[in-house]
Amino acid sequence: MKNVYTRVFGGKSGLISLGLMAVFLMVVLPGSLSIFRLNLVGKYLTYAFVALGLVMLWGKAGVLSLGQGVFFGLGGYCMAMFLKLEASDPISTKIQSTPGIPDFMDWNQLTHLPAFWVPFKSLPFSLIAVLVLPALVAFIVGTAMFKRRVGGVYFAVITQALALILSLGIDSRQGYTGGRNGITDLKTLHGWDIRTHHAQYVLYFVTCVLLLGCILLSQWLLSGKTGKILLAMRDREDRVRFSGYDVSMFKVAAFCFAAAMAGMGGALFVLQVGFISPSLVGIVPSIEMVIFCAVGGRTSLYGAIYGTLLVNAGKSLFSETFPQLWLFAMGGLFIAVVVLFPNGLAGLWDLIRKNTGPIIEKWRQGKASLALDGSAVKGEKL
């Protein structure tokens, strides 16, 4: 039982970190923010799923992917397709030339629903596809690359090219994907209006619970044999390979896990924001997602989440206050963190704790010795 506790929660310190994050996300923020700001935080937390996946892939396994926006977008489009089909029933679309299909298909003179859209009429299929489709794409790409020992900067460039290809492909197939405008006007989930304030509160807490669950799952994986192999691959890949392990398949597994989490984040993004477009799939958002992870600390599960919140909150603040300068401010923040604190906010916290720990321990020992000799009670000079 103790072993399970240690593996899932990471011991006492891990349980405290999880509790603090749960209180911060589910008590402090809902109690202090308006529904508009809370909905923004909910959107930021959907990016945190991608950052968590990058901790597993980049921070632990040593594989940098600059194309996680691909998987975020795939998960988002899977959910958006279901929501769009529900909003495109024959009654709601009776003014169209072809009722019962999404409006952008009608505008592009399609007369029937494309075959690959049909399965997304089912919510269970859509939810499964949110996780499976990104993981399947990651498996295909990862197997093709890692089996040939393509890694490092070459793999990063290939994933970036994949993000560009997918964004251009979605943009160019307007009749099937909504094109540059994306899939918009999403209203209900099985008849439940997702645009109301009550729905936004519910979706925010659902996002928080799923995010905390992903932290526990990641912690459980990292505390076992899989986590040790990932760390060994990052630091001494050749030694792991010579020990008889199939390094390529461990990399593929980490890539698929990160992709599935990114897909979950994309689906939650669509539910909270109400649209999806190619602008969330391409190179720029993929690089921004890496920045979220780097600022928080690429080796820390909790640091990645706090980094995501900090960067996006700063982005919103700068864009509202200094609309012409916010890009420079964000770039400066990233450069400052990389140069001054290469391990991110989590590394800064570890440094503070390391330096203050001995001081606190000496203070405790001094206080204990005072209590034992009775000097403090008698008022004697030391």
Instruction: Convert the pLDDT of each residue in 237-290 to its tens digit.
Output: 888 888 888 899 999 999 999 999 999 999 999 999 999 999 888 888 898 899
Q: What is the pLDDT of residue 379?
A: 44
Instruction: Look up the pTM and report it.
Output: 0.88
Q: 315 with 373, same domain?
A: no
Count of structural domains, the chain: 2
Q: 170 with 213, same domain?
A: yes
Query: Over 90: is that where the pLDDT of 296 sits?
Result: no
Query: 231 to each of 1, 54, 221, 227, 250, how far by Cα in Å?
Result: 25, 14, 12, 6, 11
Q: What is the pLDDT of residue 202?
A: 95
Q: What is the pLDDT of residue 28?
A: 95
Q: What is the pLDDT of residue 190?
A: 85
Query: Over 80: is that where the pLDDT of 11 sits?
Result: no
Average pLDDT over every residue of 170-177 = 90
Query: Helix, strand or coil for residue 189?
Result: strand
Q: Which of 56-70, 101-115, 157-171, 359-373 has the lowest mean pLDDT?
A: 359-373
Q: 237 with 315, same domain?
A: yes
Query: Over 80: is that where the pLDDT of 340 sits?
Result: no
Query: Over 50: is that where the pLDDT of 381 sits?
Result: no
Query: 3 to each of 14, 122, 219, 380, how far by Cα in Å?
Result: 14, 40, 13, 49
Q: 211 with 100, same domain?
A: yes
Q: Give me the domain span that covers residue 378.
A: 354-382
- Residue that wins the pLDDT comparison between 322 and 265: 265
Query: Over 50: is that where the pLDDT of 42 sits?
Result: yes
In a domain, 16, yes or no: yes
DSSP string, 193-236: ETTSHHHHHHHHHHHHHHHHHHHHHHHHHHTSHHHHHHHHHHH-
Q: What is the pLDDT of residue 346?
A: 72
Tokens of 318: 């700068």
In a domain, 247, yes or no: yes
Query: Over 70: is that where the pLDDT of 38 sits?
Result: yes
Q: 271 with 380, same domain?
A: no
Query: Over 80: is that where the pLDDT of 2 sits?
Result: no
Q: What is the pLDDT of residue 129?
A: 97
Q: 90 with 177, same domain?
A: yes
Query: Over 90: is that where the pLDDT of 12 sits?
Result: no
In a domain, 349, yes or no: no
pLDDT grade for 380, boundaries at 50, 70 and 90? very low
Q: 255 with 137, same domain?
A: yes
- Cα–Cα distance between 59 and 64 in angstroms, integer? 8
Query: Over 60: is that where the pLDDT of 370 sits?
Result: no
Q: 182 with 289, same domain?
A: yes
Q: 336 with 365, same domain?
A: no
Q: 306 with 360, same domain?
A: no
What are 125-149's pLDDT values in tens digits? 999 999 999 999 999 999 999 999 8
What are 195-245's pLDDT values in tens digits? 899 999 999 999 999 999 999 999 999 988 888 999 999 888 888 888 888
Tokens of 109: 């003179």
Q: 377 with 308, same domain?
A: no
Burial of 170 (0-12, 13-18, 19+ CB in 10 A): buried
What are 69-109's pLDDT values in tens digits? 999 999 999 999 999 999 988 888 888 888 989 989 988 88
Quick one: which H or E segment has residue 192?
strand 192-193
Percent of the chain residues past pLDDT 90, beyond the cut: 49
Percent of the chain residues past pLDDT 70, beyond the cut: 87
Q: Which of 112-121, 292-301, 356-365 has the lowest mean pLDDT?
A: 356-365
User: Do 13 and 258 form a contact (C-beta atoms < 8 A)?
Assistant: no
- Cα–Cα distance between 329 and 186 in angstroms, integer? 33
pLDDT grade for 369, boundaries at 50, 70 and 90? low
**Angle formed by the axes of helices 11-23 and 301-321, to 10°?**
30
- Cα–Cα distance between 218 and 62 in angstroms, integer? 16
Q: 291 with 263, same domain?
A: yes
In a domain, 348, yes or no: no
In a domain, 347, yes or no: no
